Amino acid sequence: MKNIDKLISINSIEDILPVYRNTPIGLLLEYHNLNRSLEPYETAQLLVGMCMDNRKHLNIPDNFAFIIRAGGANLRYSEFKVSYAIAVGNVSYIALIAHNHCGMVNLVARKTEFINGLVETAGWKKEKAEEHFMHFAPMFEIGSETDFTLSETRRLRLRYPKITIAPLYYRVEDNKLYFIDEN
């Protein structure tokens, strides 16, 4: 199944899956996709985990969400921050947002570009740049955006069983959020 086949559009409140309606995840979708009027918030209502990609911007109120940006929305190496948002920030909801055309997919295809970029832009020696890529690329390669997000959602649900976690997808072309079908 292709990524696009796993997406569920949100064009109305009725399109928000019932489990997420009237929750901070539902509000996120209403603000971003349905242009709900932005309301003031004093404290974060949820944690958003999303890619560091600069092409994505969420339409949400100030103070509405903690946001962790990491390549591929991979929170494996940000787990202390996730725990902090839950334990100290008192959030009970996480929106994990993948996006299309993610640079963390098929990293090996960008190996030369990565190494040359470190050499030319950062002043690294080629050998050190190659070593750096070979050490870290396997840790950050996500494969398919949707498959990774679903597996990361399952992992986080096991780690934080009382937290509601929604796997979402951001299409760069239309700047809309979609549910990733978990079935």
**124-152: per-residue pLDDT in tens?**
999 999 999 999 999 899 999 999 999 99
Range among 1-10, 70-79, 158-167 with highest mean pLDDT value: 158-167
Percent of the chain with pLDDT over 90: 89
Cα 72 to its chain centre, rounded Å, is 7
Mean pLDDT of the chain: 95
Model confidence over 25-82: pLDDT tens digits? 999 999 999 999 999 999 999 999 999 998 889 999 999 999 999 999 999 999 999 9
Return d(Cα 178, Cα 52) in angstroms, integer. Answer: 18
Say what percent of the chain tops pLDDT 70.
98
Please tell me the distance from the alpha carbon of residue 90 to that of residue 65, in angstroms, as a whole number.
11
Strand order in the sheet with 164-171: 7-8, 176-180, 164-171, 93-99, 46-50, 65-69
CB 163 within 8 A of CB 1: no
Domain residue spans of the chain: 3-104+144-180, 106-141
* Dihedral sign for Cα atoms in the order 74, 30, 163, 178: negative
Are the C-beta atoms of 74 and 82 separated by less than 8 Å? no
What confidence tier does 1 reach under pLDDT thresholds 50, 70, 90? Answer: very low
C-alpha–C-alpha distance, residues 25 and 45, integer Å: 9
Strands 164-171 and 176-180: antiparallel
CATH code for the domain defined by 3-104+144-180 = 3.40.1050.10
Mention every residue, 6+ apart, whose C-beta is less than 8 A from residue 97. Answer: 48, 49, 50, 51, 56, 73, 149, 168, 169, 170, 177
